[in-house]
């Protein structure tokens, strides 16, 4: 099915965006913001990305330099008012995006209000369209809250409205981030060549030929991980596990009872372990496209797993109040996950007891084929919807016109 993108209007206004991000959970928030900023720049906008820890943006972009039109600025705990006023005076913002409730600091608001006339009557027509970009969820509440205004009643921005923008999986939400060339890049990708280049050889003829079971691991610390790794070690068929850097490395070390900084072994029983370095966003896509199963976590990698169209198991970010239980259930309902996939999600997320399903051998291949069909049907439904960046630009244009602001 062809991807559904809102056509790009060559006469559409090019805005100056300020996107604000605080790095919370191992760079996932920064990854989402970087994807959004790069897509905006690719469509002619100018973007300042304010991030409290710019370090991860380097490896996320890989060898490619940041695109022209994107400025990365270090969001320090305090910034001089004169400096902020100069930034805004040089390139007045038309859009502010607070990513994931990070809240724009008071000095930004006060500095821009000062440029608009200080303590006098605030000229709302020159205030940026203020977006609160929320976390991704399949819960029904998203449909009720998406697009709602939130008035600011006090302070230098009194009278301004923020607007909630919720990513989502269904029509009536903000959709998901998707680059315009994603399908073309995936169609040109050769998974067999990728596996060979990364030392993941094909299975022996005695095991039925083809390539051995290959999985990617991007996780927190699932309690079932030690048992699952042991099952892969003892399985009669060979399997390969590509372990992403960071917490995933540490989780595998702990599961194998290794010292915290020990090198991961290349092989344990019938399990071959590939310890990966930090990956760029493009390289992470390649990993997902090349694997038979992707174990993903958080928000950004879930979206990339959906676009990959390969079987996946999602480890949702755990919350102390157990709110993630309902969020995971809502997602699996939308996914129309078959019973085996639902059970695997429950076990991987610690919501139910039991072993992970066996995914090697003929039985495992049949199960993975069922999960792949589920993933590809879900991807087809998503491709029929407009992408997040296109929807965001469309609604901002409408909100600005409704407020009497030039598009």
As annotated, the active-site residues are 29, 299
Exposed / middle / buried, residue 320 (Cβ in 10 Å: 0-12, 13-18, 19+): exposed
Q: Residue written as tokens 């006060």?
A: 110
Q: For residues 340 and 390, give the distance between their C-alpha atoms in angstroms, rounded to a whole number.
A: 35
- Identify the helix (H) or strand (E) that includes residue 21: strand 16-21
Q: For residues 223 and 374, give the distance between their C-alpha atoms in angstroms, rounded to a whole number.
A: 26
DSSP per-residue codes, 260-306: TTPPPPSEETTEEEEE-----HHHHHHHHHH-SEEEEETTHHHHHHH
Rg (CA), the chain: 23
Beta bridge partners of 382: none
- The two structure tokens encoding residue 73: 């600025």
Q: Specify whether the CB–CB gap between 194 and 211 falls below 8 A.
A: no
Q: Specify whether the CB–CB gap between 149 and 161 falls below 8 A.
A: yes
Q: Which residues contact 274 (CB under 8 A, 6 or more apart)?
A: 198, 199, 200, 240, 241, 242, 243
């Amino acid at each position: 099915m062809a991807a559904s993108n809102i056509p790009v209007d060559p006469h559409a206004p090019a805005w100056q965006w300020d996107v604000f991000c605080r790095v919370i959970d191992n760079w996932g928030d920064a990854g989402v913001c970087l994807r959004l900023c790069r897509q905006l720049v690719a469509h002619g906008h100018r973007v300042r990305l304010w991030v409290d820890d710019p370090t991860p943006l380097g490896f996320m972009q890989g060898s490619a330099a940041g695109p022209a039109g994107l400025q990365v600025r270090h969001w320090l705990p305090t910034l001089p008012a004169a400096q902020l006023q100069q930034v805004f005076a040089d390139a007045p913002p038309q859009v502010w995006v607070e990513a994931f409730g990070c809240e724009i600091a008071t000095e930004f608001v006060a500095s821009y209000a000062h440029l608009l006339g200080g303590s006098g009557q605030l000229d709302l027509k020159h205030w940026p369209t203020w977006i609160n970009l929320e976390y991704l969820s399949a819960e029904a509440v998203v449909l009720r809250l998406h697009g709602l205004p939130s008035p600011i009643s006090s302070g230098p921005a009194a009278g301004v409205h923020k607007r909630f923008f919720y990513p989502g999986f269904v029509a009536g939400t903000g959709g998901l981030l998707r680059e315009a060339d994603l399908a073309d890049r995936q169609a040109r990708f050769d998974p067999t060549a990728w596996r060979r280049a990364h030392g993941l050889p094909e299975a022996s003829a005695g095991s039925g030929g083809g390539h051995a079971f290959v999985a990617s691991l991007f996780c927190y610390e699932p309690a079932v991980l030690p048992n699952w790794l042991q099952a892969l070690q003892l399985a009669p068929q060979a399997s390969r596990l590509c372990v992403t850097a960071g917490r995933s490395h540490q989780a595998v070390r702990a599961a194998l009872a290794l010292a915290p900084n020990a090198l991961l072994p290349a092989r344990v029983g019938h399990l071959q372990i590939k310890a990966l370095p930090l990956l760029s966003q493009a390289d992470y896509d390649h990993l997902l496209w090349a694997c038979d199963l992707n174990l993903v976590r958080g928000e950004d990698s879930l979206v990339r797993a959906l676009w990959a169209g390969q079987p996946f198991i999602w480890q949702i970010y755990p919350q102390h109040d157990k709110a993630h239980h309902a969020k995971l259930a809502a997602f699996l309902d939308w996914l129309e996950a078959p019973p085996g996939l639902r059970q695997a999600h429950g076990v991987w997320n610690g919501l139910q007891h039991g072993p992970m399903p066996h995914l090697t051998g003929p039985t495992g291949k049949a199960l993975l084929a069922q999960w792949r069909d589920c993933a590809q049907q879900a991807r087809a439904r998503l491709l029929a919807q407009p992408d997040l960046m296109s929807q965001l630009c469309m609604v901002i244009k409408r909100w600005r016109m409704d407020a009497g602001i030039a598009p």
